[in-house]
Amino acid sequence: MSDFEGLKALVTGGASGIGLATAELLASRGAQVAVLDLDPTSVEKPLLGYQADVTDDDSVRRAVAAAVADLGGLDVLINNAGIGAQGTVEDNDDEVWHRVLDVNVVGMVRTARAALPHLRKSSHATIVNTCSIAATAGLPMRALYSASKGAVLSLTLAMAADHVREGIRVNCVNPGTVDTPWVGRLLDAATDPAAERAALEARQPTGRLVTASEVAGAVAYLASPLSGATTGTALAVDGGMQGL
């Protein structure tokens, strides 16, 4: 299939996990793909790597401008860079709250702000934000992370409304627990990583974690012309966690 033939895409947080799987899938379907990440040195051809920190507006603007110049335009923005946080409201101080909201929420705003002037020139402009089931599920020990993803969900809906008349679609995916290096790091930090993984899997209706490529498939659908009439939606990719 070549759903993305001729399209140019930018994926933030594209050097690892869901972002990398998405970048690779879009490239395999014909897109030219730029990856923006803190450390893009591991990114391999045909993906193009650009260094930026989404908490630094100047670095985002520079990286987006360089990527758009190299790609020759921009049709698809995948806003995916994000970090986790565990605990109740009492477990993290203001500094941690500001940091997580800065990366997970304002980071997406910065990238969108830099990308929108270019997306307006595209006849197939889409933005897909990586949200989470944490936005709506009320998960324990995830107060800060859930608040950040709740903001991503609201941001997605508001941006969809703001930009629908100029032909720019904005959607998000809500992954459940996805087997990425991030989750690997959490498991590695546990006293018994194998037992922790088994417990995590047992909590999934499917009995297994979601894969990064399964999330990438949903992102690709929302980013492709196949979903041309869809904007302002959140697509769950959670192995049935919220629905069952």
In the complex, the residues that contact ligand NAD under the rule CB under 6 A are 12-13, 15-19, 37-38, 52-55, 80-83, 103, 107, 130, 132, 175, 177-178, 180-183
Closest CB 5 distance from ligand NAD, rounded Å: 26
Structure tokens at 203: 């909590």
Closest CB 159 distance from ligand NAD, rounded Å: 16
Smaller CB separation from ligand NAD, 20 or 68: 20
For the chain, what's the residue count?
244
Smaller CB separation from ligand NAD, 18 or 116: 18
Closest CB 85 distance from ligand NAD, rounded Å: 10
Handedness of CA 82, 238, 126, 42 (dihedral sign): positive
Closest CB 176 distance from ligand NAD, rounded Å: 7
Smaller CB separation from ligand NAD, 83 or 157: 83
- Does residue 127 contact residue 79 with C-beta atoms inside 8 Å? yes
Active site residues: 145
Rounded distance between C-alpha atoms, residue 2 and residue 207, angstroms: 33
Mark 177-201 as b/e (b = at least 16 C-beta within 10 Å). Answer: bbbbebbeebbeeeeeeeeebeebe
Rounded distance between C-alpha atoms, residue 72 and residue 85, angstroms: 37
Smaller CB separation from ligand NAD, 124 or 175: 175
